[in-house]
Structure 1
Amino acid sequence: MTQDARFEDGQETPLNLGALDAEDLQVISALAQDAVFPVTEMTWRARERRFAILLNRFRWEDAPTAKQTGRAVERVQSVLLVENVLSVSSQGVDRSDKETILSLLSLTYEPLKDGAGHILLTLAGDGVLKLSVEALEATLKDVTRPYLAPSKQMPTHET
C-alpha cells in the first residue's frame, strides 16, 4: 500500500506542476497566489496556442518553515504556461502602460462542453484575464533560485 505525500516530506526543490483538470488548477492557484509580474511579462503566441507569464511567485510552500524558524520569506521566478489557448481577453488591464505591475489572486476554470473552457486569472484591483482553451493544460515551473522577498513579509489580504 502506498501513502500520499505529506508536506513535511517536501524538499527544497523547484516546483514543476501540471494541471489537466479544475482540481489540479486549484493547487497551482494556491501556489501562485500573490505572484506579481510586470504587464510586459505576459505573452500569447496565437500560432502555437500558448500563453505564458513570468511570475515573481511568493513561496507559500516554504512560508510555514520560515515563520517557525524566523527566517526571511522568499519569492522565486516561475513560468505559468497554458497550452491550447484559442483566445485571450482582459478586463481592467492596461497593457499600454509598460510600468504596470500586476498581482495574481487566483486561477479558476470554467468548463464548457467537449473539454473546452475558460481559465480566469483574477488580479488585484478588479483585473481579469480570460483564456479560452480547447482543453485544460497548464504548468507552473520555478525557473530561478529563491530570493528574499523584497518586502520581507508574507502577503496579507483584507477581509
Structure 2
Amino acid sequence: MKRDDRPLRLVAFDAVDLEPISAALQDAVAQLGDFQFSRREKAFTIAFNRFCWEAGRRDRRVRSGLQIGRVAAARSQNIRQGASDAVVNLLSIAFEPGEPPAGTVVLVFSGGGEVRLDVECLDVVMADLTAPWRAAGGRPVHEDGPEEGASRQ
C-alpha cells in the first residue's frame, strides 16, 4: 500500500485539532440521508465521499465517516429536511467556543447550508472506511464570484 493510500484516522479535542479534519473533508459530498443524530447516544454522524487531497496529483475519493460526540442539540439552516437523496458539499468545519469546555461545532456547506451542533466538549473522530477510488469529475475547483467558496464536482 502506498503512503497516500493509507486510511486517514483523525481525532479532535480542541479547535486546533479540528483544522486538519476540516481540511481533509473540504469538498466532501454526502447525501442528507447519511446524516444521523442520536439524542440517546449524544452523537452526530455523517458518511462522506471525501476528496483525497493528500493523494497529490492523483484524483481520488474515499468513503469516510465523521462522528461528533457529546452533542446536546442539533439544528440546521438552509438544509432541506426530509430530502434524504439531496447531495450536499462540505466546505468547512469550525468550533465556536462557549462556556468551557462547551461550544458549537459548525459544518458549512456550499449554497449556504449549515449544521450547528451544541457540544458539551469537542470530541470529533474522522476515519476512512474504504479504499480510495478514481474520482469521477476530477479535482474540485473553486471559483471566485457571487458564491465565493462554492465548488464544482
TM-score, structure 2 as length reference: 0.90
Q: Equivalent residue of 1:125, what SS?
A: helix
> Is the 2:4–2:54 contact (alpha carbons within 8 Å) kept by the matching residues of 1?
no
| Distance in 2 (alpha carbons) for counterparts of 1:97 and 1:54 | 16
Give runs of aligned pairs for residues 1-159 of structure 1, distance below 5 A: 10-62=3-55, 64-66=56-58, 73-151=59-137, 153-159=138-144
In 2, Cα distance between equivalents of 1:147 and 1:23: 29
Deviation at 1:12, TM superposition (A): 2.5
Structure 2 counterpart of 1:19, one-letter code: A
Question: Are 2:31 and 2:84, in contact at CA under 8 Å, matched by a contact in 1?
Answer: yes
TM-score by structure 1 length?
0.87
* Residue identity matched to 1:88: A
Give the match's secondary structure for 2:5. Answer: coil
Distance 1:95 1:102 in 2: 12
Indicate the RMSD between aligned Cα atoms, in angstroms. Answer: 1.3
Q: Matched residues in 2 for 1:103 and 1:115: separation?
A: 29
Conserved in 1, the CA contact under 8 Å of 2:107 and 2:114?
yes
Inter-CA distance 11–148: structure 2 relative to 1 (3 Å threshold): closer
* Structure 1 position 36, deviation (Å): 0.2
Whether the aligned pair in 1 keeps the contact of 2:61 and 2:135 (CA below 8 Å) is: yes
**Between Structure 1 and Structure 2, whose CA radius of gyration is higher?**
1
Q: Give the Cα–Cα distance (whole angstroms) in 2 for the partners of residues 81 and 99 of structure 1.
A: 20
- Shift >6 Å, 4+ stretches: none
Structure 2 Cα separation of the partners of residues 16 and 41 of structure 1: 19
Output the amino acid matched with 2:122. Answer: L
What is the DSSP-based 3-state SS (H/G/I as helix, E as strand, rest coil) of the residue aligned with 1:61? helix
Task: Report how far residue 65 of structure 1 moved.
Answer: 4.2
Deviations 1:28-77 (A, max 9, x none): 00000000000100000101000000000000111x242xxxxxx11000
Provide structure 2 residue ranges, at least 5 long, that are not aligned to the other structure.
145-153
Unaligned 5+ segments in structure 1 are: 1-9, 67-72
